[in-house]
Amino acid sequence: MPAAYINDESEFDTLLATGSTMVVDCTANWCGPCKIVGPLIDRLADEYPDQAKVLKLDLDKNKAIAKRFKISSIPAVMYFKEGELSAALIGVKPYEDFSEALERLL
């Protein structure tokens, strides 16, 4: 099942407040490299359904979040633990890089 999209900053803040381990793929429809990373994030969502919330965020619709976390290039995959940003991977990477970054938080 593909990773769900976060609708807005309010939903994002609510999710952060739960303190769950969270992976957020910052993406945009026009971004070519994002189309490569997207299926890898969907796979992460499939493989870690109970350990982490794996989500996507359209930065065109959520510019405030991009500004807040100083995201200047995408794809950017942010990793949160207990509401705090603990890692970010920028650019196209192999699936193992994304899964290993998540494993370190679990």
Span 11-60, pLDDT tens digits:
999 999 999 999 999 999 999 999 999 999 999 999 999 999 999 999 99
Q: Where do the domains of the chain lie?
A: 4-103
| Domain with residues 4-103, CATH architecture | 3-Layer(aba) Sandwich (3.40)
Say which of 34, 40, 57, 89 is annotated catalytic: 34
Q: Find the largest Cα–Cα distance for the chain.
A: 32
Among 15, 16, 28, 31, the active-site one is 31
Cα-trace Rg, the chain: 12
Banded pLDDT at 1 (limits 50, 70, 90): confident
**Taking a C-beta distance cutoff of 8 angstroms, is the pair 78, 52 a contact?**
no
**Is 26 tagged catalytic?**
no
pTM: 0.96
Q: What are phi and psi of 105, to 5 degrees?
A: -90, -15
In the 8-state DSSP scheme, what is residue 2? P
Of residues 106, 95, 100, the one with CA closest to residue 21:
106
